[in-house]
């Protein structure tokens, strides 16, 4: 097999076709979206999921670049190839923490377009200049304008921790996007992509006929790679990876599916898709890794979970109302929508009666990567030399409770003063993360007939029943396990039961008593 070139990080359709990179044909969906009854669209997908490539494909299509589409599905579908004026606004490559960054980015795009279509008298604001450019592009070419906006809301997402600058960006974008509504009669097609829908941005109120295709079954696979596409496009690559790893084709395929598949973007869950960035990297390098997390860490989301005192173990199986899943407006009170939009959770079910989505981690890469991303938040350090992961796993496996709690105490000692485990839920999350990442079955707040056990951990030989107190006592913790009979559901299991009552002091960020029975 000739060596294949994978388009890792390549987001330009023209370059992919000219250089003969591997390309998964999405042009049938391009034809469908451009030949429907609507002309205004919005699409939300996580980062690194192919939104930029989709817009580049649309740009080449509307520019009439028929040569680039030879051999693809759209070549047999499209009968007329016209060269429309295309305005492609890319907001992805700028850090918007600088106060004037957004103004500069928009102004540079306007200047480029004005070099082609001119600048009208009295066009002083960004919005007026934008409207004027669209109008003149239509008048000069005789064809309506195509408008493509990549990451339309990135300036807002970049400044979620700076309300004053965020408001300034919001006002700037409102004025700029207002130009789209004014130019309606000069437009042929509009697609805005992003991660979320922001109600405070006028684009969604001004364009009241905007069609959101983010959760539509017909477009659920417009980005990402389906199982069918994997088989038809990458069969030989999977075999080559299997050979390199000393596995069968079936085993390698199963590994890829477990690591990178599992995303759902409609309530019907008709089809799951692979993360294209991670999948292509795995096939190119012939190894499994957390590639998506290497390209960006969820620091903001991790901080948000702490601020909202969210139970990390409750994220999988959590529900969110259908009307809220695409909005970011309530993120300070409910982090679930933005966790879905960002790709850390995906749709795992839908309750039609209550119009609620059930969420879950899409795959192993996301779950392990996300949980590992939580560790620096609670420890304050990427490294905890005294913890010793291998020793911790051995201690848990052999039932040495005192030993592995000593390791937890050493890890807690690394937590900086400014990072506090202020609430009992923070300590529960801390313990849940440690045991889950080490591969042990872990259940926080396990419901029994008489109450809720703080932590249940299962190994092949032991079941640990733990009660964790904050500013209490280990004696009270172990007594609660007995009084509430937390161990009773596991009496007939056959594995050895270990009861552990622990207390920790938030002011010292340290364990302050442990009783094991």
Instruction: List, for residues 373-415, the tens digit of each pLDDT value.
Output: 766 655 555 544 444 566 777 888 888 888 877 877 776 666 5
Query: What value does the mean pLDDT take over residues 57-84?
Result: 97
Share of the chain above pLDDT 90, in %: 55
Edge-to-edge, what's the strand order for the sheet holding 40-44? 86-90, 145-150, 187-194, 40-44, 211-212
Query: What value does the mean pLDDT take over residues 501-514?
Result: 75
Reduced 3-state DSSP string for 102-145: HHHHHHHHHHHHHHHHCCCCCCCCHHHHHHHHHHHHHHHHCCCE
Backbone angles phi, psi at 454, to 5 degrees: -60, -50
Picking from 391, 319, 313, the residue whose alpha carbon sits closest to that of residue 349 is 319
Q: Cβ neighbours of residue 486 under 8 Å, at least 6 residues apart?
A: 446, 448, 450, 451, 453, 465, 467, 480
Angle between helix axes 364-379 and 249-260 (nearest 10 degrees) is 50
Confidence category of residue 444, pLDDT binned at 50, 70, 90: confident
Confidence category of residue 270, pLDDT binned at 50, 70, 90: confident
| pLDDT higher than 90, residue 88 | yes
Helix residue ranges per DSSP H, 215-363: 227-245, 249-260, 276-285, 291-294, 299-307, 336-341
Q: pLDDT tens digits for 157-197?
A: 888 888 899 999 989 998 898 888 889 899 999 999 998 88
The burial class, CB within 10 Å (0-12 / 13-18 / 19+), for 436 is: buried
Q: For residue 395, how far is the Cα from the chain centroid? A: 34
Q: Cβ neighbours of residue 499 under 8 Å, at least 6 residues apart?
A: 465, 466, 478, 481, 482, 487, 516, 517
pLDDT at 306: 66
User: Is 175:125 a contact under the CB 8 Å cutoff?
Assistant: yes
pLDDT at 386: 43
> Strand pairing of 496-505 and 462-470?
parallel
Picking from 440, 438, 439, the residue whose alpha carbon sits closest to that of residue 455 is 440
Q: How far apart are CA 91 and CA 154, in angstroms?
A: 7
CA distance readout (Å), 97 to 47, 151, 155, 236, 442: 19, 16, 8, 45, 39
Question: Domains along the chain?
Answer: 13-219 (3.40.50), 225-294 (no CATH), 299-365 (no CATH), 380-516 (3.40.1350)
Q: How far apart are CA 440 and CA 459, in angstroms?
A: 6
Picking from 313, 318, 339, 298, the residue whose alpha carbon sits closest to that of residue 432 is 313
Look at the alpha carbons of 193, 199, 203, 207 in this order and tell me if their dihedral is positive or negative: positive
| pLDDT higher than 90, residue 340 | yes
- Say what the pTM is: 0.80
pLDDT at 327: 82
CA distance readout (Å), 333 to 48, 168, 177, 440: 27, 23, 28, 31
Q: pLDDT tens digits for 11-41?
A: 999 999 999 999 999 999 999 999 988 899 9
Maximum mean pLDDT: which of 107-111, 307-311, 414-418: 107-111
User: Is 128:179 a contact under the CB 8 Å cutoff?
Assistant: yes
The secondary structure element, H or E, covering residue 483 is helix 474-483
| pLDDT higher than 70, residue 313 | no
Q: How far apart are CA 495 and CA 492, in angstroms?
A: 8
pLDDT at 317: 87
| pLDDT higher than 50, residue 419 | no
Q: Cβ neighbours of residue 163 under 8 Å, at least 6 residues apart?
A: none
CA distance readout (Å), 359 to 158, 348, 353: 25, 5, 17
């Amino acid at each position: 097999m000739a060596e294949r070139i994978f388009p890792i990080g390549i987001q330009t359709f023209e370059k992919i076709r000219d250089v003969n990179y591997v390309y998964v044909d999405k042009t049938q969906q391009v034809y469908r979206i451009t030949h429907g009854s609507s002309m205004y669209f919005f699409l939300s997908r996580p980062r690194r999921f192919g939104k930029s490539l989709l817009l580049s494909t649309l740009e080449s299509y509307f520019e009439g670049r028929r040569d680039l589409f030879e051999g693809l599905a759209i070549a047999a579908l499209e009968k007329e190839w016209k060269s429309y004026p295309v305005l492609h606004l890319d907001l992805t490559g700028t850090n918007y923490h600088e106060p004037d960054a957004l103004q500069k980015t928009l102004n540079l795009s306007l200047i480029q377009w004005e070099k082609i279509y001119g600048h009208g008298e009295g066009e002083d604001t960004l919005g007026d200049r934008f409207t004027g450019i669209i109008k003149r592009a239509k008048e000069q070419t005789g064809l309506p304008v195509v408008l493509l906006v990549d990451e339309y809301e990135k300036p807002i997402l970049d400044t979620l921790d700076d309300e004053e600058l965020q408001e300034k960006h919001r006002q700037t974008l409102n004025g700029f996007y207002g130009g789209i509504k004014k130019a309606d009669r000069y437009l042929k097609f509009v697609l805005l992509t992003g991660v979320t829908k922001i109600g405070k941005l006028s684009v969604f109120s001004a364009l009241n006929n905007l069609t959101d295709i983010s959760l539509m079954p017909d477009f659920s696979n417009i980005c990402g790679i389906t199982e069918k596409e994997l088989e038809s496009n990458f069969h030989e690559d999977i075999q080559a990876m299997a050979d390199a790893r000393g596995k069968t084709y079936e085993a390698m395929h199963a590994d890829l599916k477990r690591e990178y598949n599992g995303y759902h973007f409609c309530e019907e869950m008709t089809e799951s898709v692979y993360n294209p960035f991670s999948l292509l990297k795995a096939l190119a390098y012939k190894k499994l890794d957390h590639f998506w997390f290497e390209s960006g860490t969820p620091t903001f989301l991790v901080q948000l979970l702490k601020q909202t005192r969210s139970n990390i173990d409750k994220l999988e199986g959590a529900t969110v109302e259908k009307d809220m899943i695409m909005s970011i407006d309530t993120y300070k009170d409910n982090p679930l929508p933005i966790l879905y939009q960002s790709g850390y959770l995906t749709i795992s079910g839908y309750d039609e009666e209550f119009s609620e989505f059930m969420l879950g981690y899409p795959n192993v890469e996301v779950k392990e990567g996300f949980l590992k991303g939580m560790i620096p938040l609670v420890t304050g350090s990427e490294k905890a030399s005294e913890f010793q992961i291998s020793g911790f796993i051995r201690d848990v496996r052999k039932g040495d409770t005192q030993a592995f709690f000593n390791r937890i105490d050493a890890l807690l000692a690394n937590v900086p003063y400014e990072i506090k485990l202020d609430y009992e839920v923070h300590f529960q999350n801390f313990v849940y993360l440690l045991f889950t990442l080490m591969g042990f079955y872990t259940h926080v707040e396990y419901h029994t007939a008489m109450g809720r056990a703080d932590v249940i951990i299962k190994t092949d030989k032991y079941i640990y029943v733990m009660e964790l107190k904050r500013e209490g006592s280990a004696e009270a913790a172990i007594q609660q396990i007995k009084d509430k009979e937390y161990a009773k559901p596991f009496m007939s299991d056959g594995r050895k039961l270990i009861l552990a009552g622990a207390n920790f002091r938030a002011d010292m960020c340290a364990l302050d008593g442990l009783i094991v029975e």
